A and B are shown apart, each in its own frame.
Chain A
């Protein structure tokens, strides 16, 4: 149809540059060059090339590159496993609202996540617990989320890993929001990834993503900026989030030393740290919020148990220095009036090999799980157990 609009009616006149005639300025006309008219069907030419051969060559070269990359990481010691995504966490979280509201739930950071082996717990208890821990992340918001969920009426083990728990630090803060807003597309994507990608590709791990690999190359240090190496791969995860410390931490002294050096970065003061007064205020807030959540959980019949998971070496020294037991752990139990297990109070929870001072070696995690479960059953949740911290203390 004809247009009543002049073709020179651009948004602001027609640009006119040195040596550029209009046809040269833009190689292909678009709606930008046709003001006020019905736009025609666009041009979409295909460049003259032997596209069949190009595609074949591309597929072959791509296959070679992917196979080489996979082989490289397998030679490094990596094997295929599930990726600890928010989608994987959401699958476990949904179990509570899908008929397993009376289950035992584990909420903590990486120590509870790596050190407790779900098959062992299931063998002893008869039911597999739901693992909702997240590495580098205070369990507080997970506990608050469970407290607000009337479907949850089971038992809750909350791990205390002092530097995360009392600072409120959350490396993986988005899981709850993700689980609540997860789209059908994301659910399908998670399902497909667990079946088509993760069981076959070892390099499918955030630690070996392109950006992670590039970022950890020995780039020159920028003056005035404190260097901070990101935490490397520490664990291997299964489909229901049963996780154990990666054996490389036990077998490769260099890798183990690197993991320790990464923790050491946090043992030194940083300009980003809160002031001592602010840190104390944060500690107090974390305890108050946890006490409120525990009270809410109690109101719908949930049994709560705190566990201070084992650490040793320089990590334990750091925790004792920055988060002394009397000020943190004892205050938490007093405030929440919930029972707790501190690994230092139980011989059965001591003497394990923690390659990088923070997590129990994968080869010993089953023994640790059995020991922890026995204590819980004997002193807290089993038939005849008092459920009271005082009585448990006396029974040791």
Chain B
């Protein structure tokens, strides 16, 4: 079920109620586990089996890793986990993509290959929970972490509903220790957790769905040729939409976990105030970028084997990171562009190691970063390269046949929401939300919280799925 639904409101009220009853800690954990399976089954009940498979495989793989005496056996257990998880991900997420590309390749060399049609349904959140379970086995394999003490704690780590379908991608060392001792939110944790959930849902329901998504749709999902204003407005709208959608999900998830007494990590740190792309990736989808860094970039050699190897590892990481988002070459292009940006930045940093920009140049570099990030969003949002080129040409003012597409209200929405968003990120770039809330008068917190909740209610969201569910 989605956070922005009436079903979730009732579900969460029941979970909070159960969690506050005087059961033993083990019973409470079993309740949370069952609730998490229900949360997942509410989309498509049979797919719970995939969760079980992923849970059981990694549980036994980690046990095998600990018991193994020979390095080769440890390797085998690790490979079993990786193959099982990536195999499942590959079949459900990339099966049709691989088949389509194979068919195109055959066709290109003159072989008419007509495979049977497979109607593979993508299990929601599979990319997130396979990465979470893999990090468990890999951390044990890399001797960074000890395996969980019992299956219940481990299964709850994999399945815990706040992070299950769209992250933040938790590491076992972040969550499993929290299941060791009884936890119940204090009154203030519960209230602040509810405030965070309101903030997250405001981002999703009001800003992303009500004010920005249609603007992007009108340009990206239509056959009309956009001019510079429409192409930029739609792309900026998408940049705001995807942040508000995904950061909104993460904030709601963090708030939901806090209401139950658990801590989840930040997934965003005001990324549109990033200066440079390494800074951007330490602010955007932090739990994915750090996962890719720890389990892909570093094992590929990272920075330790010279510049050439580092560039290759970087590009491979970002291309695969792009593909992680979806089975489409446009996502690969998105990842490739980010890889290119990071590589250029790395080269410039090496060339101008002693350069320190003035404050004005610093802000200009930040705006340049945001502009270039927007160029990558075109490939992320466009369903085809054809559409991406049309929008990019529009952004460059090269669509001679363009006619206005977006109404004044749409343009004003984008200017107000995205302008406000970027400004907020700059004001908050070296702060935390908590530090700002702590310094704000209580009456103002109260008014802002009530206004956000009111806006959520009157926005009448249609329970739209979060964008990242499809990944």
Contacts and interface: CB of A to CB of B under 8 A. Distances in A.
Interface string B393-407: 000000000011111
A16 to B, nearest CB: 8
Given A184-B45, A211-B459, A27 B435 contact: yes
A57 interface: yes
Given A5-B298, A62-B453, A31 B286 contact: yes
B463 A189 contact: yes
A38 interface: yes
A76 interface: no
B458 interface: yes
A217 interface: yes
Interface residues of B, number: 110
Contacts of A18: 356-359, 361-362
B75 interface: no
Nearest to A14: B278
Contacts of B362: 17-19
Q: Give the most central of A44, A61, A215: most B CB within 10 Å.
A: A44
Contacts of A34: 290
A32 B171 CA distance: 13
B211 interface: yes
A330 to B, nearest CB: 33
A69 B269 CA distance: 35
A220 interface: yes
A188 B7 contact: yes
B459 A39 contact: no
B293 A49 contact: no
Interface stretch (A192-200, A260-268, A287-295, A377-385): A192-200
B293 A27 contact: no
A19 B275 CA distance: 13
A11 B265 contact: no
Contacts of A217: 409
Contacts of A277: none
Contact of A15 (B266, B276, B293): B276
A44 B210 contact: no
Interface string A213-250: 01101011111110100000000000000000000000
Contact of A50 (B210, B442, B463): B442
A43 B435 contact: no
B282 interface: yes
Nearest to A27: B432
B192 interface: yes
A52 interface: yes
B1 interface: yes
Interface in B242-295: 254, 258, 263-266, 269, 275-279, 281-283, 286-287, 289-294
Contacts of A26: 269, 282-283, 430
B282 A33 contact: yes
Contact of A222 (B44, B294, B408): B408
Q: Give the most central of B171, B191, B342: most A CB within 10 Å.
A: B191
A35 interface: yes
A14 to B, nearest CB: 8
A332 to B, nearest CB: 29
B295 to A, nearest CB: 10
A227 B358 CA distance: 47
B293 A11 contact: yes
Nearest to B267: A30
Q: Give the most central of A9, A12, A18, A57: most B CB within 10 Å.
A: A12
Interface stretch (B19-27, B54-62, B66-74, B443-451): B443-451
A210 B459 contact: yes
Contacts of A6: 304
A204 interface: yes
Given A49-B437, A209-B210, A225 B407 contact: yes
B278 A183 contact: no
Contact of A185 (B43, B189, B405): B43
B409 A219 contact: yes
B460 A206 contact: yes
A24 B434 contact: no
A221 B460 contact: no
A37 interface: yes
Contacts of A98: none
Contacts of B106: none
Nearest to A85: B462
Given A18-B362, A19-B359, A28-B432, A48 B265 contact: no
Interface string B282-314: 110011011111100110001110000000001
Contact of B278 (A10, A61, A189): A10
Contacts of B191: 51-52, 54-55
B188 A51 contact: yes
Q: Give the most central of A30, A35, A203: most B CB within 10 Å.
A: A30
5 contacts: A1-B145, A26-B283, A46-B192, A54-B442, A69-B458
Given A10-B278, A32-B289, A61-B446, 16 more contacts: A8-B303, A18-B357, A31-B286, A32-B269, A33-B282, A34-B290, A39-B265, A42-B265, A54-B195, A61-B450, A65-B451, A189-B5, A193-B6, A204-B460, A210-B459, A225-B405
Closest 5 CB pairs of A and B: A185-B42, A47-B438, A44-B263, A31-B290, A185-B1
